[in-house]
Amino acid sequence: MQEAKYYEKLPDKNVRCKLCPHNCVIKPHKISPCRARKNIDGILYAVNYGECVSLAMDTIEKKPLYHFHPGSLILSIAANSCNFKCAYCQNHEISQGKSLTKYISPEELVQIALKENSIGIAYTYTEPFTWYEYLLDTAKIAQDKGLKNVLVTNGMINEEPLRKLLPYIDAANIDIKSMDPEFHKKIVWGDLDTVLNTIKITKKYWAIELTNLLIPEYNDSPELLQELVDFVASIGVDTPLHFSRYFPHYKFKAPPTPIETLKLAGEIARKKLKYVYIGNISLEESSEIEGSSTYCSECGNLLVTRSYFDIGITGITDNRCDKCGRKIDFAI
Ligand code: SF4
């Protein structure tokens, strides 16, 4: 347990956490709504510092990150906390529920990554920003050892702590839940403006990819899709955008995303963006919907083949498309 980095003391031993825009006021001896912090006698502590709820080697594609060392394996870990409360959370058992954790110090975690020949550490499955102190400490050590640091995040963090983290992170997949601010407030307990601001800031420093889980009737209207695509284009048409298929989970009973919706989203996005991917679909469905391979944005040559997590770099030589010679714009 460590003292939290961003908070202020209030009268009567209350505290205000200033890590994310919820800016929660936490009473003495109470735990925060994100479950990452506790007020003990007027001091705010990061109670889940180093407490890992999950640890596995994954392909980087699983994050999903398709433009960052395709096909490599990365040590993936999670805390047991989140500052969103998505009613359809695919990982609610660990993000919202009580799960067993194991303490792993930053030094130990880096040693595990090195031993596993991982390209780095992915802080994922739940919300890494609610693990802020541990994330910062570990990322610094990992970077010193030549490892990459990768986030899979909802983007919900205040600007000051985010800026402090910028030099230590290499890549991130940031989730845009919807372009509807009300969806953020009512369904996920988030703030759209903060998420978009995080994306705009980090795009200048990290390799950024974005994900949008399409939930029928909630965030899949052509108007919202167009708004999303326009935003992504505004930060760079080379920004990879992943549309992900939703399945009923946790408190949500809406049916799975129809394949037709995913196709439509792909069509709308490809009119403006260079790299659009469709994920969370079966092998059979992927034959009728082109969604996971990477093609040269100049000549259409197949650069990286992906069939589920079977990945092959097929059309790149010396960092150039081997058909037209265009320099590829991502790390391999
Ligand atoms: S990090 Fe947690 S405690 Fe801090 S403001 Fe956000 S939700 Fe509240």
Q: Residue 329: what pLDDT?
A: 86
Averages of pLDDT over each 10 residues, the chain, 332 residues: 96 98 97 96 97 94 94 95 89 84 97 98 96 98 98 98 98 97 92 97 97 94 96 97 92 89 94 93 68 90 84 92 92 83
- How many helices and strands (H and E) does the chain possess? 9, 21
Q: Residue 283: what pLDDT?
A: 65
Domain 51-292 has CATH 3.20.20.70: yes
Q: What is the 3-state secondary structure (H, E, C) of 161-172?
A: HHHHHHHHCCEE
CA of 19 to the centre of ligand 1 (A): 6
CA of 24 to the centre of ligand 1 (A): 6
Q: Kindly give the interhelix angle for 222-235 and 192-203, rounded to the nearest 10 degrees.
A: 30
Residue ID of nearest Cα to ligand 1 atom 2: 34
* CA-based end-to-end distance of the chain: 37
Tokens of 120: 């780095």
38 lines ligand 1 (CB under 6 A): no
**Residue 159 phi/psi, 5° resolution?**
-65, -40
Question: In the sheet where 310-313 sits, what is the strand order?
Answer: 294-295, 302-307, 310-313
Largest separation between any pair of C-alpha atoms in the chain: 69
Distances (CA, A) of 143 to 41, 66, 158: 35, 21, 23
Ligand 1 nearest atom to the CA of residue 21, by list position: 5
Ligand 1 nearest atom to the CA of residue 37, by list position: 3
Which of 6, 10, 32, 86 has the most ligand 1 atoms within 8 A of CB, as the residue to mutate? Answer: 32
Q: Residue 308: what pLDDT?
A: 66
CA of 284 to the centre of ligand 1 (A): 42
Q: Residue 249: what pLDDT?
A: 84
Q: Kindly give the interhelix angle for 222-235 and 259-270, rounded to the nearest 10 degrees.
A: 40
CA of 23 to the centre of ligand 1 (A): 6
22 lines ligand 1 (CB under 6 A): yes
4 lines ligand 1 (CB under 6 A): no
Place of tokens 């870990």: 77
CA of 31 to the centre of ligand 1 (A): 10
Domain boundaries, the chain: 2-46, 51-292
Measuring CA to CA, which residue among 281, 286, 305 is closest to residue 294?
Answer: 305
